[in-house]
Amino acid sequence: MRFGKLFLFAVIVAALVLLPYLSGRFTRTMVSEILIFALFALSIEVIYGHTGMLSFGQAGFFGVGAYSVALTIIHANAGIATALMASVVSSAAIAVLVAAFAVHLRGHYFALVTIVMGLILYYAATGWRSLTNAEDGLSFSRPLLFDSYSLSEPLVSYYFVLAIFLAVFFLVRFLLLSPLGRIFRAIRENEDRVRYLGYDVVLLKVLSFAISGALAGFSGGMFALFSAYANTEFLHWTLSGEPVMWSIVGGIGSIYGPIIGTALLLYLREGLSSYLIHVYPIIVGTIIIATIIFFPGGLAGAIKTRVAHVMAKRASGK
Amino acid sequence: MLETKSLSRSFGGLTAVSDLSIQVPAGSIRAIIGPNGAGKTTLFNLITGAVPLTSGDILFEGQSIANKPAQAIARLGISRTFQLTSVFPELTARENVWAGINRVSGSLNPLQFGSRVRQNERRAEDILEQVGIAHRASVTAKELSYGQQRILDIAMALSASPRLLLLDEPTAGLGVKETDTMTALIKRLGATMTVMLIEHDIEVVLEVADKITVLYNGKLLLEGPPAEVAGNETVQKVYLGHQANIKGAMTRSSHA
């Protein structure tokens, strides 16, 4: 099984590496966006899938991350690494600030605070026009990568996004499989018991929200770099719902689920939009309702159950 | 080991624990009994920091722990189980117990080496072995039988290396055989740490307890060795009602 999983992973990575040579601009751009937004969806996996706290304010972090990149490049002449670092630090800082009081709330109340946080960040950004240029946004020219490669080159841009995605994916996977990730899951299951085992649950929840915020901010920063642009729509609350929907469809509680969900729904949106833009919300809504009813564990959960079933059948056949 | 001084806790107009002073010496097994609403679980909640005190003090090994946060009290060496089984349902039995061990070993560092994690997992398996459910280590807690979940609950409390263990109705809902297993386990634990237990099964109480504290309406009604408490008429009246026969239970227990 472990070998099978590794093989599948190698095939997917090989396909992603070869993709620019096998397909055109449209697919390449779409896959790049999927990879960036998959990181955005992983931020939901950290805070909700693992720690059990639902956040509907992730677009706030996404937008803050995007503006951090735009502003540091425009005003401080920052390089790519510095700009991305700024997106991580600024969004994590806001997450810590909000979490310091929000993590004392549970369930729906926590989710409500994250909605309010998202709204405050959105209206602050649209109101502070001198800094953000509101919906007109900020365009900027991207610094060179390693002082020699231009992100305007389609191949450079694609491989840059792919490399960053793989690096961050492995980092998040490592974190979620580590003792810290395991305690996050314990908090999701029964936070009182974690407290009675002697852990500082408040601190751990703040940490989880900070990691999630940093990840969402980083994906926003990546998206700004990818499009050489940031505007206040990046902070819009409707965008906050997207990673939650992708994660539900792909499967909450699995690191692969949010990625599968993001790929499927963004592919659908891009594939359909030119013909059926008006019915897209209806189709996505139907998929989400069907997933919740028929596959509560999402696609990743359904695949896992199916594989376990086949393995059990094979084992009993022996 | 543990001492409460004029401990009180009121919820609105209701006084759940009132002016309670008890002493539990190290190395003993103390049973807390009393009818429903006597304040037994509130006493545990006060000791473990789940609810704040209204007045009084609680000393653990001579140090006041009154109104300290629950996690700080756990870190001093007080562990508890719950009336309603409290485990991590989606985590394996091994992971459930690992959580406490990992806290004691002081590391949440995601960069800690895999060998450290495995070492703590092996210690978790040792504890599961000690309580008799090692063969279920890789099963998620929700898949365990009810009795096994109650035992896992205790294993989790043990994982935090307590010097004082509080068991809230450990045999509630268990069958006869499982109750026997649990009774033997409590006796074994009593040999290595101080145990306080809330228990309704009077046979279990008489078999394991060194001393019994009887609470009634949040107040201390009587305290003494099992034989003395069992023979007390007031206890029989308030706790067991007129038909029950605590002496009979004691006889059965001594024959068992």
Question: Of the ranges A83-92, B148-157, B158-167, which is most confident?
Answer: A83-92
pLDDT at residue number B118 = 87
Q: How far apart are CA B231 and CA B212, in angstroms?
A: 12
Does the beta carbon of B100 lie under 8 angstroms from any beta carbon of chain A?
Answer: yes
Asked if B70 lies within 8 A of A195 by C-beta distance, the reply is yes
pLDDT tens per residue across span B49-79: 999 998 999 999 989 999 899 999 999 999 9
* Dihedrals phi, psi of A173, to nearest 5 degrees: -60, -45
Phi, psi of B18 (to 5 degrees): -130, 115
Beta bridge partners of A74: none
Q: Which of residues 131-190 of A touch B (CB under 8 A)?
A: 174-175, 178-183, 185-186, 188-190
Determine the Cα–Cα distance for residues B149 and B168; give it in Å rounded to an integer.
14
Computed over every residue of chain A, the mean pLDDT equals: 91
ipTM of the complex: 0.87
In angstroms, the CA B9 to CA B56 distance is 9
Q: In angstroms, rounded to a whole number, what is the distance separating the alpha carbons of residues A137 and A309?
A: 51
Instruction: Please give the Cα distance from B139 to A251 (Å, whole number).
Output: 22
pLDDT of residue B252 exceeding 70, the answer is no
B79 interfaces chain A, CB cutoff of 8 Å:
yes
**Cβ-Cβ contacts under 8 Å, B71 against chain A:** 195-196, 198-201
Q: Chain A within 8 Å of B44 (Cβ-Cβ)?
A: no
Q: Which of A192, A196, A211, A254 to mutate to test the interface with B (most CBs of B within 10 A)?
A: A196
Please tell me the predicted confidence (pLDDT) of residue B242: 42
Find the closest chain A residue to B70 by CA distance: A196
Strand B63-64 to B55-60 pairing = antiparallel
Residues B229, B212 contacting (CB under 8 angstroms): yes
Nearest by CB: B74 against A174, A188, A198: A198
DSSP string covering A235-263, please? Answer: G-HHHHHHHHHHHHHH-TTSSSHHHHHHH
Is any Cβ of chain B less than 8 angstroms from the Cβ of A199?
yes
Residue of chain B whose Cα is closest to the Cα of A193: B86
**Which pLDDT tens digit goes with each residue over A281-297?**
888 889 889 988 888 88
The closest of B234, B250, B155, B197 to B40, measured between CA atoms, is B197
How many C-alpha atoms does A22 have within 13 Å on its Cβ side? 7
